[in-house]
Structures are given as structure tokens and as C-alpha cells.
Amino acid sequence: MENISANGNASDKLGVLIVGLGGAVASTFVIGSLSVRKGYSKPIGSISQLSEISIKKGSEITEPKIKDIIPITSLNDLVFGGWDIFPESVYEAAIHAEVLSKEDIEKVADEAKAIKPMPGAFDQEFVKRLNGTHVKGTTNKWELVQLIIEDIRSFKKENNLDRIVILWAASTEIYVPMSEVHMDIASLEKAMKENSPEIAPSMCYAYAAINEGIPFINGAPALTVDMPALIDFSLKNKVAICGKDFKTGQTMMKTVLSPMLKTRMLGLNGWFSTNILGNRDGEVLDDPDSFKTKEVSKLSVIDTILEPKKYPELYGDIYHKVRINYYPPRKDNKEGWDNIDLFGWMGYPMQLKVDFLCRDSILAAPLCLDLVLFTDLAQRCGSYGIQTWLSFYFKSPMHEMGKNPEHDLFTQNAIMRNKLRSFIGAEPLDALV
């Protein structure tokens, strides 16, 4: 396949800078990618690596693998780095996270030990449960932006990179509602210079990325890049952005089960979701201010899919509750329960129970890989601003103001595939293939 890009080639070296490099998701993603490229394991869960795509040419339909027909960067050309507020290498972080077995980590130990985080741009006001030891020597937001920009430039130079993508896989910050300062770039810069409490560190990373022409992906639920100021900035600087909050366990189930209810015109009057989780993310989300950010992200899904205004007799009175409980013994092996109170013919009640014994970071790692490769592809193909076609991967997909996001997993899949086809000039298809 010929490279289609005007802005760099798939075969160039691509830097992957991860904010939260020492976290469970980041270390599982990096160790897994190193392991796959050495042939020790398979990239299960990654659409970019495993899935086929139907391509129609005249009357003929072929089904090549996405990675063989769409010019995404090869795993061999990824160079990993990033920031954390603790100094552990990716090797140490993976051991600490206890997601992967020691045996799996050891196979790529040499490379993983060499991947060490740069000091994080941090302000404890925004993640109250963490007390970082490996942080930049200021909490002034504008100074943080300048230091992040310096880090990006030196990483690019030292590793002789052609392009970079930045991925936020760091802790969930406290809830910061959108306000005047987030509306335009002049107000945002002014607020950064005045060190306003409405500027979270994640916004500094996002600003720095866009300033440097680097795509930015937000895997957590905070505002970060999802505001008019940074969306406009991304369009002005021709940068691809996407978010927010990886859609992994419970919300993935919700975006599959809700369309099922709606397609069959079955009613819903209650959905109670609860989780137990014992990793550092669970500890951070135990703080009510951080949980609030997550709650907002998790709650929007059902309403948007079920359209209660259109179907008030079916969905006009839903009690939707989401809980996350920090329970250390489970570590990263989250258990998520859903109790769904639905009703059918003549209003007769029924219940559906889901008990998903998942592994949070095992579900999130392939999403990180796909998002990095697809966002870089979008950037090279001149698709700037919000990448709504990547909604497939997010709980709370970024979307144009005044429009509803698409939440249905299968519709999102169809949209994503058509966008991938468009990058190589192939015809769009209706089917989910």
C-alpha cells in the first residue's frame, strides 16, 4: 500500500508520549506492545492489528486486515516515553501494578527498564489522593506549559522522531466545570498566566501538544481538551484531538445493551451499576471530587441512546445510578455489576443482571494502541480538530457543540470503518464490516 500522507509517512518513527507512564494502563499498554513486536504475545482486543475491513472496488469486495490496507504506523516504529509524578520505569510500574505476570514482564525487561518518565506537571489540588515525588518544580500553569513544550522538543530530538502523539492515561482529575476561561484561547492563556484554579494540569499538557502540532488523546473523563478554546486552537494549528474516557468495561456493556432494549422497544425504569476496584485508579476515584468527573462521563450514555423525549412511555422515568467502590484486594481485576430493571408487553417487569469480572488495564491497553495509531493516521491525512469517528473508543465522546454524541457501539464501529475507508479513497459501506 502506498503511503497517502501529505504530512509524514507511515514508515517514519512515531513517538508515543504518555501522561501517566507509570500507571496500570500505560505500563500494560507499553509492555504489551513491546511483547507483541517481539512475537511473545498477540494484540488481542486491537482492531488496528487484528480486524479485517471490507473494501469495495466496482463489484468486487475484498477483506484485507486493516493493518495491511490502511497505512497505519507499524508497532516496530513506535518509540515510547512520557511523564509521571513517580519516577519508576515502565518495568517497575508494571511490576507494581500487578496486572501482568512477572514472566511476561521479564521477557521485555531490558527495553521496559530504559523507558523512564519525565517529571510530571502536577498540582495536588486536582488529584487529592496522590502525593507525587517526581514533579516539576512549579505549579504555575503557564510555566508548566513551557516546561512540557521543552520536554516534547527534547524527546523528539533525542529520539530522532518524525512525529509524536500524546496520550493522557493519567489519574482522573477533580471535576472542573466549563466556564468563561475555557471559551477562547486568549482567555485560556490569560487564566494559565494568572494560575487560575480553573486550569487543571491536564489542560497544560493538551495546550502544549496542540501548540507543538501534536495530536492529543484524552483517555480520562476530565475536561482537558474538550473545550471551545482548545478545539479552536486544534483547528487553527491543524491538530487531531479526541476523547474522552476510554470505553472499556461497564460502559461498553451499556452501549451494547441499551441499543438492544431500544431496538426491541422494551422499556427501562432502572439501571444500577456498581464496581469494586483496588488499583491506584480506584484509590483516586475514591475521592468524591475525582469520582464526580467519572460519574458525569458514565451517566450520559443511556439517555443519549434511549432518547427519553421521543419515547417517554418507555424511557421517560429511568433511575440511573453509578457507584465505584475502592476495594484493595481486587487490585486491577475490577468486578462490575449491573442490575437492569426493564419492562415488556403490557408493562410487565423483568430483570437483567450482568456480572463482568474484567481486567481494567487489559481492556484499556488495546484501545490505547488503536487510538495512537488512528489519531496519527488522521493527522497525516489532514483530519484535524475533534475526531468524532473515534467515538467507538470513548465513554463520553467529544462532539460538536449542539449535537448529540453517538454512543451505540455498533453504529460507532460502522462510522469508524467508513472513515478508515475514506483515508484510502475507498467507497463507504453500510454494513458493520
Parallel/antiparallel/unpaired status of strands 118-119 and 78-84: parallel
281 near ligand NAD (CB under 6 A): yes
Query: Which one of 14, 75, 166, 169 is in contact with ligand NAD (CB under 6 A)?
Result: 169
Name which position in 5, 16, 75, 86 contacts ligand NAD (CB under 6 A): 86
Closest separation in Å from C-beta 386 to ligand NAD? 18
| Total residues interacting with ligand NAD, rule: CB under 6 A | 34
Among 142, 246, 389, 423, binds ligand NAD (CB under 6 A): 246
Residue choice 14, 16, 17, 25 for contact with ligand NAD (CB under 6 A): 25
Stretch that binds ligand NAD, among 81-89, 303-311, 341-349, 404-412 (CB under 6 A): 81-89
Of 70-78, 147-155, 170-178, 256-264, the segment contacting ligand NAD by CB under 6 A is 170-178
In the complex with ligand NAD, the residue whose CB is nearer, 120 or 267, is 120
Determine if 174 is a binding residue for ligand NAD (CB under 6 A): no
Q: Which is nearer to ligand NAD, 5 or 27 (CB)?
A: 27
Stretch that binds ligand NAD, among 79-87, 317-325, 341-349, 406-414 (CB under 6 A): 79-87
Distance (Å, rounded) from C-alpha 59 to C-alpha 56? 7
| Under rule CB under 6 A, residue 81 binds ligand NAD | no
In angstroms, what is the minimal distance from the CB of 149 to ligand NAD?
Answer: 15
- Tell me if 226 contacts ligand NAD by CB under 6 A: no
Does 364 contact ligand NAD by CB under 6 A?
Answer: yes
SS3 track for the chain: CCCCCCCCCCCCCEEEEEECCCCHHHHHHHHHHHHHHCCCCCCCCCHHHHCECCEEECCEEECCEHHHHCCCCCHHHEEEEEEECCCCCHHHHHHHHCCCCHHHHHCCHHHHHHCCCEEECCCHHHCCCCCCCCECCCCCHHHHHHHHHHHHHHHHHHCCCCEEEEEECCCCCCCCCCCHHHCCHHHHHHHHHCCCCCCCHHHHHHHHHHHCCCCEEECCCCCCCCCHHHHHHHHHCCCEEEECCECCCHHHHHHHHHHHHHHCCCEEEEEEEEEEECCHHHHHHCCHHHHHHHHHHHHHHHHHHHCCCCCHHHHCCCEEEEEEEECHHHCCCCEEEEEEEEECHHHCEEEEEEEEECCHHHHHHHHHHHHHHHHHHHHHCCCCEECHHHHHHECCCCCCCCCCCCCCHHHHHHHHHHHHHHHCCCCCCCCCC
Per-residue contact flags (x/-) with ligand NAD for residues 372 to 401, judged by CB under 6 A: ------------------------------
**Is the separation of the CB atoms in 418 and 430 below 8 Å?**
no
CB 310, min distance to ligand NAD, A: 29
Omega before residue 262 within 30° of 0, cis? no
- Of 10 and 88, nearer to ligand NAD (C-beta) is 88
What is the C-alpha to C-alpha distance for residues 9 and 163, in angstroms, rounded to an integer? 9
CB-wise, 221 or 267, nearer to ligand NAD?
A: 221
Residue nearer to ligand NAD on the CB measure, 71 or 117: 117
- C-beta of residue 79 within 8 angstroms of C-beta of residue 15: yes
Q: Using the rule CB under 6 A, is 171 a contact of ligand NAD?
A: yes
Instruction: Confirm or reject binding of residue 254 to ligand NAD (CB under 6 A).
Output: no
Residues 97-126 within binding reach of ligand NAD (CB under 6 A): 120-122
Candidates 15, 81, 201, 385; binder of ligand NAD (CB under 6 A) is 201
| 220 near ligand NAD, rule: CB under 6 A | yes
Residue whose CB is less far from ligand NAD, 364 or 373: 364
| Residue of the chain from 14, 15, 17, 20 that contacts ligand NAD (CB under 6 A) | 20
**Do residues 144 and 49 make contact, with C-beta atoms less than 8 angstroms apart?**
no
Instruction: Return the residue nearest ligand NAD (CB atom).
Output: 23
31 Cα distance to chain centroid: 18
The stretch near ligand NAD (CB under 6 A) out of 14-22, 42-50, 64-72, 417-425 is 14-22
Q: Are 78 and 163 in contact (CB under 8 A)?
A: no
At 25, phi and psi to the nearest 5? Answer: -65, -50
89 lines the binding site for ligand NAD (CB under 6 A):
no
**Is residue 279 close enough to count as binding ligand NAD by CB under 6 A?**
yes
In the complex, minimum distance from the CB of residue 364 to ligand NAD, in angstroms, rounded to a whole number: 4
Binding site for ligand NAD (CB under 6 A): 19-20, 22-26, 83-86, 120-122, 127, 130, 169-172, 201, 219-220, 245-246, 248, 279-281, 284, 360-361, 363-364
